[in-house]
Amino acid sequence: DERILAAAQKHAIVPLEQGQLYKYGTAGFRMKADLLDGVTFRVGLLASLRSRKLNSQTIGVMITASHNPAVDNGVKIVDPMGEMLEQDWEHLATNLVNAPTPEDLVQYYNQLATDLKIDLSAPAKVIYGRDTRPSGHTLVAALAAALEATETEQVDYKILTTPQLHYLVRATNTEGTPTSYGEVSEVGYYKKMADAFVRALKGRRINGPLIVDCANGVGGPKLAEFLKHVPQDKVNFEVKIVNDDVLRPEVLNLESGADFVKTKQRAPPKPAPQPGVRSCSLDGDADRLIYYWIDPDTGFFMLDGDRISSLAASFIGDLVESAGLKDELRIGVVQTAYANGASTNYIRSHLKLPVMCTPTGVKHLHHVAQSFDIGVYFEANGHGTVLFSPDALRAFKTTEPQSPAQQDALTTLAALSDLINQTVGDAISDMLLVEVILAHKNWSLRDWAMTYNDLPNRLVRVVVGNKDLFQTTDAERRLSHPEGAQEQIDAAVKKYKDARAFARASGTENACRVYAEAATNSEAIELAKQVAQIIE
């Protein structure tokens, strides 16, 4: 107790304005980096408790603020199988971080141990990584101090992408077991993916070069490292990495990256876009991916998370059919309310697959995707992955093929299950998946774009007095509060053809968001404006 108290005094919490609390939200704790020292220390305490609670399994802590500005940072906990922190513990994190004094903190820490029947003398292990933000360095020191004070074994993996840390947590906890996830090292991550990439491509040629914008974040150096593991004699993968300056912190996510491309609906201005060349953008911690190209005739065209989702579902659905597993394995797609209505319709009517809708935030999608044998989930912003159940993995390995075509489908499915990060959305892994599918189908981005036409849409940010007044139901598609607001939105939507709109409080910013789609662009804009006025 004295060691924790002494360390806590060195990593004090900065009091927020009257009435405001730190909150473990969809992205953990995320804010201006200078508020985070004490927060990160306390997250370290909780991570050690969680490891002790879960039979000394390894817990992860990632320090990143993803696509947010360079001055922000964040801290979040990764559970043993590489998943997000269990929801029940989010409010424990919130309580622990908001304990006002170091003495209150130690008292609450001990009370948690008692209430949750945690043996504080049991071994504990926490591993961690951070993105390229300069503030990450001091935050890691605060985390390490908490782990030392609680006699927790720790491994500092230094700079990583978020999905790499998730990989390492799962690999650590499965090491030496039949479900081993891979070698417990950063190199192990590259080797596993490069091997699966070659196996999934099956000698098919990749159609021309790919430009990858890395948002001047951690994805740049890590993608370069990955490419060294791809055998040049087996794969013609020509990648041009751009926006990979991680030495000047101020350029992180600046006019670049997946979030910029998705929200601005245009290519990063620098370097000057090359018309016709297949391009994609990662975000600042390399867990989101958006594809696009500049068409010489029609201009910018974007392929977002909904497109990646429908591409993956279509390809995997066909493989499962060729593998003769259609009646055995249930494939489903999980989206949020932000998914373009045309994508939902395409997946249901054309691919004939079930689509589920969940609230925003990866943990919700991930959870529902686990209810399928093959669960494809993506947020429109480009964050997502494909999950394979133990039954699916077994079927790929043990089904006796009756034809070369069936065998081919089975081995491709097995390769995909290794290529696709099973812990969390991973931009590098997702990018390789897209490249594999395009190579198999011999498609350009234009071919991919032709599968369906997006409904015109608008996303606006609305500053409101108190965003907490806005409460939703039906996977955030309807407002339950304030009373009467939903009826007004319904009335506005009714005036337009093929229209849909919703409003929700942001989980990461002090504002509300309004999404509207309609048959034409001008109608989508009008509708978004009207809904914004309703909630203002």
Binding mask 24-43 for ligand 16G (x = CB under 6 A): --xx----------------
Look up 66 and say whether it is catalytic.
yes
* 245 binds ligand 16G, rule: CB under 6 A: no
Q: Which residues partner with 319 through β-bridges?
A: none
* Three-class DSSP labels, 357-408: EECCCHHHHHHHHCCCCEEEEECCCCCEEEEECHHHHHHHHHCCCCCHHHHH
Cα separations in angstroms, 92 against 309, 360, 472: 34, 21, 24
Instruction: Identify the residue among 95, 265, 488, 508 touching ligand 16G (CB under 6 A).
Output: 508
According to the binding rule CB under 5 A, does residue 283 interact with Zn ion? yes
> Which residue in this structure is represented by tokens 């509300």?
512
Stretch in the footprint of ligand 16G (CB under 6 A) among 9-17, 180-188, 451-459, 503-511: 503-511
| Residue 285 contacts Zn ion per CB under 5 A | yes
As a whole number of angstroms, the longest Cα–Cα distance in the chain is 70
Interatomic CA distance for residues 498 and 520, integer angstroms: 9
Question: What mask of x and - would describe binding to ligand 16G in positions 221 to 240, judged by CB under 6 A?
Answer: --------------------
Per CB under 6 A, which region of 105-113, 201-209, 379-387, 406-414 contacts ligand 16G?
379-387
Which partner, Zn ion, ligand 16G, none, binds residue 526 by CB below 5 to 8 Å per kind?
none
> Closest approach of Cβ 118 to ligand 16G, in Å?
27
The residue type of 49 is L
> Among 318, 328, 313, 314, which residue's Cα sits nearest to residue 399?
328
Q: Which of 48, 51, 66, 279 is catalytic?
A: 66
Which of ligand 16G, Zn ion, none has residue 454 at its interface (CB below 5 to 8 Å by kind)? none
Q: What is the DSSP letter of 204?
A: P
For ligand 16G, the binding residue among 332, 361, 382, 456 (CB under 6 A) is: 361
Contact 199, 415 (CB under 8 A): yes
As measured in angstroms, the least distance from the Cβ of 284 to Zn ion is 6
| By CB under 6 A, residue 69 contacts ligand 16G | no
| Lookup: tokens for 220 | 């740049």
3-state secondary structure of 314: helix
Contacting range for Zn ion; rule: CB under 5 A; set: 117-125, 280-288, 336-344, 401-409: 280-288
Q: How far is the CB of 285 from Zn ion (least distance, A)?
A: 4
Q: Please compute Rg for the chain using Cα positions.
A: 23
Cα gap 136→132, rounded to integer Å: 7
Indicate which residues carry an active-site annotation.
66
The site for Zn ion (CB under 5 A) is made up of 66, 283, 285, 287
Site residues for ligand 16G per CB under 6 A? 26-27, 360-362, 379, 381, 383, 506-509, 513
